Amino acid sequence: MASTAGGETLAAPDPIADGRTEGVEEEQVVNPWEVSAKGGKIDYDKLVDKFGCQRLDDSLIQRFERITGRRAHVFLRRGLFFAHRDLSDILDAYERGEKFYLYTGRGPSSESLHLGHLVPFMFTKYLQDVFKVPLVIQLTDDEKCMWKGLSVEESERLARENAKDIIACGFDIERTFIFADFSYMSPPIYKNIVRIANCVTGNKIVGIFGLTLEDYGGKFFFPYIQAAPSFPSSFPHIFSGKHSNLRCLIPCAIDQDPYFRMTRDVAPRLSYHKPALIESKFFPALQGESGKMSASDPNSAIYVTDSLKDIKNKVNKYAFSGGQDTLEKQRKYGANLEVDVPVKYLNFFLDDDAELSSIKEKYGSGAMLTGEVKARLIEVLSEIVERHQRARAAVTEEMVDAFMAVRPLPRMFA
């Protein structure tokens, strides 16, 4: 067994390896840079068991509603956020009057975001509103230099552009600090990065992230950088005095779990709380449920920059339909809702429960046709995208500077 610089004993290498589930008949890979499954469909149940996180069940959602006094967000009610780690501890503490902060992030690898990229931010904005807690958002411009080979300057530029889309989601400037790694890398967070690094051996990193000695060194070091914002002392300008050991809740997609498994492992050794997580599935591609939407195929997703014409065209042309191929058959047999992408999208974006169940009932029985369901989806998506575009256009360079200014947040719990 290896020893840290402080002499503590380290746990054995991560048995979960890099998210690969071995089975004779199928194999799926889910880690921060690869999501794939034989046959295309991710088995989330298997993933929860492999990763060792917990399922977000109805009783926890009801508890969430009781404590916040608000209806659960549609992403929560309809199972897009489906797993967690220690969410009940955060709720227990919150009920006792103990606060926490939120931490999420984005790797700025492309200019235009699609709806799947917005999901964690829309949800985080909701959490910020219902709990009235501070939020830190990490833009990992450094990560994309290490993993995507982008130049430092290009990564920095993309981070700033992405910050505008994030701000357009409506975050409260009095509770939100957005930072990019290159510009924020200041002594306090760097000290935590080194503390974390001192607890994790190369074996452990290889075990969790599946790296080989052919990979560049940056990839071995980056996990500490994504871990550090889970600890409040990385932000002494926000969390000082009585807030210096605040709990942290991280909304993210399940592929980020390996980073925070490592972080949670390290936390007690540094006398911090383990960060809690609330984790989402991947947003399905227009073509169907085969992992994440792909930034390299513009027809696999709805982008926040799409025109209303693009949206209409993409939904009509590419959204995989579970409807029958002739009118007569559709009337007779109805649609297969299990595989129907318009229904899946409506499930996550149509807030009205009664309307959704009426659509499902009619479409599933053949009373409604694919074209009608798609038309409703086009309306719903157009509204979301138009709203986003209007908000994005109103974000100025000064606003970006203001969100990214290293400053106290005196009204963060007000």
Residue with Cβ nearer ligand TRP (163 or 341)? 163
Q: Which of 21, 226, 290, 330 binds ligand TRP (CB under 6 A)?
A: 226
Residue with Cβ nearer ligand TRP (250 or 302)? 250
140 binds ligand TRP (CB under 6 A): yes
Q: Which of 21, 28, 31, 104 binds ligand TRP (CB under 6 A)?
A: 104
- Site residues for ligand TRP, 242-271, by CB under 6 A, read 250, 252, 256
138 binds ligand TRP (CB under 6 A): yes
Number of residues in contact with ligand TRP under rule CB under 6 A? 13
228 binds ligand TRP (CB under 6 A): no
155 binds ligand TRP (CB under 6 A): no
Residue with Cβ nearer ligand TRP (227 or 350)? 227
Residue with Cβ nearer ligand TRP (186 or 313)? 186
Instruction: Select from 71-79, 138-146, 162-170, 394-402 the region that touches ligand TRP (CB under 6 A).
Output: 138-146
342 to 361: interface string for ligand TRP, x by CB under 6 A: --------------------
Q: Which of 73, 78, 106, 125 binds ligand TRP (CB under 6 A)?
A: 106
Least distance (Å) between residue 306 CB and ligand TRP: 21
399 exposure class (CB count in 10 Å sphere: 0-12, 13-18, 19+): middle
Q: Which of 105, 288, 322, 323 binds ligand TRP (CB under 6 A)?
A: 105
Instruction: Select from 37-45, 66-74, 101-109, 297-305 the region that touches ligand TRP (CB under 6 A).
Output: 101-109
Q: Which of 19, 32, 134, 223 binds ligand TRP (CB under 6 A)?
A: 32
Contact 276, 257 (CB under 8 A): no
Q: Which residues contact 323 (CB under 8 A, 6 or more apart)?
A: 330, 335, 336, 340, 363, 369, 370, 373
Residue with Cβ nearer ligand TRP (106 or 264)? 106
107 binds ligand TRP (CB under 6 A): yes
Binding site for ligand TRP (CB under 6 A): 32, 103-107, 138, 140, 143, 226, 250, 252, 256
